[in-house]
Amino acid sequence: MLFSTVVNPSIFDPNQIAAQNLSAHVLRFAQALTENLVMPVDKSGKLEKAILLHGVKLAQLPNKGPQISGIIAEIVKRRREKLIPFMCGDRYFGDELCKQLSAVSRADAVVTLAPLVGAAGGPCTVIDIADFMISQLETLRRQALGGYHDLDKRASKWLTEQISRTCRGSQEVIAVDPMFLRAGRRKWFLQGLSFFVQSILLERVPAAQDLHLRIVSAPHFEADKDNQIQKADIKLNADIFLRKLSQHLNRELGAARPKIRISLSCKSDDLSRRLLHDRYWASDYSVVKITRGFDFFSDNGDLYNQSLFWADSARPVLAEVLALPDEIPPQTIVV
């Protein structure tokens, strides 16, 4: 659902855009960057600075220039969500920097203006900005915006790829499902979360980066006149859930992996009826809504029939959910 492109700053050069009549192409690409397309950049900031400099100059370009300039300013303002920084070596510049960055980030493509030889270190699609609107990448990206349905007709490998793509490069991933602590489905939620974590770690970039998984749920006990007993039951249920999840992950993943810090928050049921009813996973760069939940698999091992939706517009709602009061103090383990 999430796609990434290394961007050669030359595509935003106002002189080149005017000379080759590329305004419509560059505008469409810039609009894609506000949706489910992100940009790997070097940690030294060379690409970001070059793009921002062109963006400022684009404000003076007639026709679509101010619109493109405004989008670039918005992307830079939202850099935590739209720009993924990678160590790429200070000695690289221009085309060589783009090639190296495409290799270390495993980007889907390099979008460029001038001819660019294939990416160093592995296969990578090179797209001329004039061809972006008719590229396969743009077709797949736009399809993903409409959501994916009938997961029961897909292989688990496909779901693994979607999870990996949306969480790649993010140090923190959030999993929200009000039913996590429902004791009757514990086995399947544990299996689903174990699958989810394994999928995140697949092709993780950088591979050694530790992971923080924030699990958010709601309690599953009816209101009790003795509130202390109710909270004790909730805590016991949470303790059992985390202990069994740790056992699952240690058994499935082994020791040769990054550290995984898992925190579990159980949000107040009074407000969760209003806010905590949808299921999401979220990284720094994406929010995905799932219609059924994290108990992905049925008793026979097939995926349940549910849908995935790109839901970046739900970030404010997700922030409200995370800000809900806790029924019990958050629990944390490291596996």
Could you give the CA distance from residue 99 to residue 325 in angstroms, rounded to a whole number?
47
Record the pTM: 0.88
Could you give the CA distance from residue 104 to residue 86 in angstroms, rounded to a whole number?
7
CATH number of 149-334: 3.30.870
pLDDT in tens, the chain (335 residues): 899 999 999 999 999 999 999 999 999 999 999 999 999 999 989 999 999 999 999 999 988 999 999 999 999 999 999 999 988 767 767 788 888 888 888 899 999 986 654 444 444 588 999 999 999 999 999 999 999 999 999 999 999 999 999 998 888 999 999 989 887 788 899 999 999 999 998 877 665 578 999 999 988 655 555 555 577 888 888 999 999 999 989 888 877 778 899 999 999 866 556 678 889 999 999 999 999 999 999 888 889 999 999 999 999 999 999 999 998 899 999 98
What beta strand segments (E) does the chain contain?
3-7, 37-42, 83-86, 109-112, 125-128, 172-176, 211-217, 260-266, 279-282, 287-290, 308-310, 331-334
Cα torsion 210, 278, 324, 264: sign: negative
User: What are the residues whose beta carbons fall under 8 Å from the beta carbon of 61, sequence distance 6 or more?
Assistant: 14, 17, 18, 23, 68, 69
Give the SS3 label for residue 120: coil
DSSP category for residue 304? P
Res 222: pLDDT = 53
- For residue 125, count other CB atoms closer than 10 A to its CB: 16
Res 124: pLDDT = 59
User: In the chain, where are the structural domains located?
Assistant: 3-144, 149-334
Contact by Cβ (8 Å): 36, 141: yes
Mode of pairing for the β-strands spanning 172-176 and 125-128: unpaired
Res 25: pLDDT = 95
Res 118: pLDDT = 46
Tokens representing 267 are: 């949000």
Res 225: pLDDT = 56
Could you give the CA distance from residue 111 to residue 144 in angstroms, rounded to a whole number?
19
Contact by Cβ (8 Å): 210, 171: yes
Quick one: CA torsion of 194, 198, 204, 206, rounded to 10 degrees?
70
